[in-house]
Chains A and B, each alone.
Chain A
Amino acid sequence: MNIYADNAATTAMSQTAVKAMLPYLTEYYGNPSSLYAFGQRSKEAIEEARATVAKCIGAEPREILFTSGGSEADNQAIRSAAAHGARKGKRHIVSDAIEHHAVLHTLKKLEKEGFEVTYLPVHSDGIVRVEELAAALREDTCLVTVMYANNEIGTIQPIRDIGALCRERGILFHTDAVQAVGHIPVNVAEDHADMLSASAHKFHGPKGVGFLYVRRGIPTVPLIEGGAQERGRRAGTENVAGIVAMAAALEESVGHMAENAEKTAMLRDRLIRGLTEIPHSALNGDPRKRLPGNVNFCFEGIEGESLLLLLDDKGICASSGSACTSGSLDPSHVLLAIGRVHDVAHGSLRLTLGDNTTEEEIDYIIQSVKEVVTYLRGFSPVWRDLIAGKGSFIL
């Protein structure tokens, strides 16, 4: 059996999206900046896509800025807000401990440039507390950036409340909604978002394209200088086919969101129930306030990379927050932030379901994970010590 259970990493492109993009890779290859009709045809396709994307998140077309993906959108949003703040002498930013590296690394750079960043803790449920965020705001706070939903543990943040608070205090609010858009309802007006990042390949669009929503009137700083594309906010000839496909994929995802989310959440809960049967295991993140397709567990006494490799042998594509899968010495910063100690954070497994995941696949995953965990524990010196009563179980 081949099961793709890593939909938070990327998703398969939808047929609708593929069909939508093909003409722009073949016959309609005109440059959108060219003035002749053939070029303008590409320009029209982009503007149509912009209107579609805007409609899907409750924005106006002119508020959508096409980028190369979520990371670029995050970088540009934060850089723009920082530049805007600096002009007014405001150099304080509020974020949290479980952001994506596209946000965290940009913030780290800004810290070196003289900005001060408050990283709010998340509780063991993986959720930021609005009252703690309120307490962190200062006179010189120029930006609050809190992700919509976490890529590792799937927890959904109280975005609407955070947005309302920031709007009331007159502070710019950006949210990295890469994991949320196309999966759960996102509406920039209701969420009071000033900026929002999204990536096409997370909702069945192509890789290498995304967008940044920027509320009208908020100044942006271009990351790429050159031509006047995207009204001077992002130079470079547009990824026409990618943009068209992204819009098609988003429209389709939003159109089927309610039914997909309901079905996926049921499978998610079935998977959570099954994996909970494994002794000394624990679900990471709030069981309810999480993305419909996200399951993330820690298993005591084993290491995540070997777990992934053996699941791969069984045809299951999954991911882990272990150090060995990140190429660094530390396990996932998200798991550490929710209070998992290193020892168990290394033994994590993320399974992210998609719209096509079946019950049969879920049962196969449960069976396979049980087998692999038991097998690896069978020759784990950590496990031997634990069951021998040397040291105590953490989970």
Chain B
Amino acid sequence: MALYSEKVMDHFRNPRNVGFIPDADGVGEVGNAKCGDIMKMYLKIEDDTITDVKFETFGCGSAIASSSMATELIKGRSVSEAMALTNQAVAEALDGLPDYKMHCSVLAEEAIQKALEDYYSRRDQTKSE
């Protein structure tokens, strides 16, 4: 029995949306190196739509696959749709994760939330200027 599903391995081997966006509208980083997982999400947002998303991940196979899948699930979606993304949705889209790897999908959800929060706080700042 393989450690991971075919989907996980596909996203791990060929991660989608890898990289960084220098002029991102929102950036979110979660996890820490001590625990062995760090995920960083970069969002480009126009007219309330996520027009581009990139990620960088330090972590295991499922952390990389979860990041990749999460970016696919929110790309082209509205900010509110992205905000509603759950870790279960990421895990299901990957055809499941082993129990002890579910935290990787949680990190993906949190990284996106954090990037969106960053987007909102930057926007609010611009408005108040």
The residues of A with any CB-CB pair to B shorter than 8 Å are 301-306, 309-310, 313, 322-324, 327, 329, 331, 341-343, 346, 379-384
Q: Are B15's CB and A379's CB within 8 A?
A: yes
Q: Are A384's CB and B56's CB within 8 A?
A: yes
Q: Are A381's CB and B56's CB within 8 A?
A: yes
Q: Are A322's CB and B12's CB within 8 A?
A: no
Tell me the bound Cα distance from A98 to B73 in angstroms: 44
Contact with A along B43-63 (1 / 0, CB 8 A): 000000000000111111101
Residues of A within 8 A of B55 (CB): 379
The 11 listed contacts between A and B (C-beta, < 8 Å) are A302-B58, A303-B36, A303-B60, A305-B61, A310-B13, A313-B13, A323-B36, A331-B36, A379-B18, A380-B58, A381-B40
Quick one: given A309-B12, A381-B29, A384-B56, are A343 and B64 in contact (CB under 8 Å)?
A: no
Q: Are A303's CB and B59's CB within 8 A?
A: yes
Contact of B58 among A309, A313, A331, A383 (CB under 8 A): A383
Name the distance in Å between B25's Cβ and chain A's nearest Cβ: 18
Residue of B13, B57, B58, B60 most packed against chain A (CB within 10 A): B58
Residues of B within 8 A of A324 (CB): 36, 59-61, 101
Q: Are A306's CB and B34's CB within 8 A?
A: no
Tell me the bound Cα distance from A343 to B32 in angstroms: 8
Tell me the bound Cα distance from A324 to B59 in angstroms: 9
Interface residues of B, count at CB 8 A: 27
Residues of A within 8 A of B35 (CB): 323, 329, 342
Q: Which residue of B lies closest to A345 (CB)?
A: B36
A-B contact sample (4 more), CB < 8 A, given A309-B9, A309-B61, A380-B57: A306-B59, A306-B60, A342-B33, A343-B34
Q: Are A382's CB and B61's CB within 8 A?
A: no
Q: Are A306's CB and B64's CB within 8 A?
A: yes
List B1-53 residues whose CB lies under 8 Å from chain A.
9, 12-13, 15, 18-20, 29, 33-40
Name the distance in Å between A243's Cβ and chain B's nearest Cβ: 31
Name the distance in Å between A277's Cβ and chain B's nearest Cβ: 22
Residues of A within 8 A of B58 (CB): 301-303, 380-383
Residues of B within 8 A of A341 (CB): 34
Residues of B within 8 A of A329 (CB): 35
Name the distance in Å between B21's Cβ and chain A's nearest Cβ: 13
Residues of A within 8 A of B15 (CB): 379
Name the distance in Å between A372's Cβ and chain B's nearest Cβ: 12
Residues of A within 8 A of B36 (CB): 303, 322-324, 331, 342, 346
Q: Which residue of A lies closest to B64 (CB)?
A: A306
Residue of B13, B18, B38 most packed against chain A (CB within 10 A): B38
Tell me the bound Cα distance from A382 to B61 in angstroms: 16
Tell me the bound Cα distance from A384 to B20 in angstroms: 10
Residues of A within 8 A of B61 (CB): 305-306, 309, 324
The 7 closest A-B pairs by CB, nearest first: A324-B60, A305-B60, A343-B33, A346-B36, A381-B40, A342-B34, A381-B56
Q: Are A379's CB and B19's CB within 8 A?
A: yes
Tell me the bound Cα distance from A147 to B78 in angstroms: 59
Residues of B within 8 A of A381 (CB): 29, 38-40, 56-58
Tell me the bound Cα distance from A346 to B59 in angstroms: 9
Residues of B within 8 A of A343 (CB): 33-34
Quick one: given A306-B12, A380-B58, A384-B56, are A346 and B33 in contact (CB under 8 Å)?
A: yes
Residue of B13, B18, B36 most packed against chain A (CB within 10 A): B36
Name the distance in Å between B10's Cβ and chain A's nearest Cβ: 12
Residues of A within 8 A of B18 (CB): 379
Tell me the bound Cα distance from A336 to B37 in angstroms: 17
Tell me the bound Cα distance from A381 to B40 in angstroms: 7
Name the distance in Å between B75's Cβ and chain A's nearest Cβ: 17
Residue of B12, B20, B59 most packed against chain A (CB within 10 A): B59
Tell me the bound Cα distance from A309 to B62 in angstroms: 11
Name the distance in Å between B39's Cβ and chain A's nearest Cβ: 8
Q: Which residue of B lies closest to A322 (CB)?
A: B36
Name the distance in Å between A137's Cβ and chain B's nearest Cβ: 36
Residue of B20, B33, B35, B38 most packed against chain A (CB within 10 A): B33
Tell me the bound Cα distance from A27 to B69 in angstroms: 56
Name the distance in Å between B28's Cβ and chain A's nearest Cβ: 11
Tell me the bound Cα distance from A346 to B57 in angstroms: 14
Tell me the bound Cα distance from A379 to B14 in angstroms: 13
Q: Are A382's CB and B33's CB within 8 A?
A: yes
Tell me the bound Cα distance from A341 to B32 in angstroms: 13
Residues of B within 8 A of A383 (CB): 58
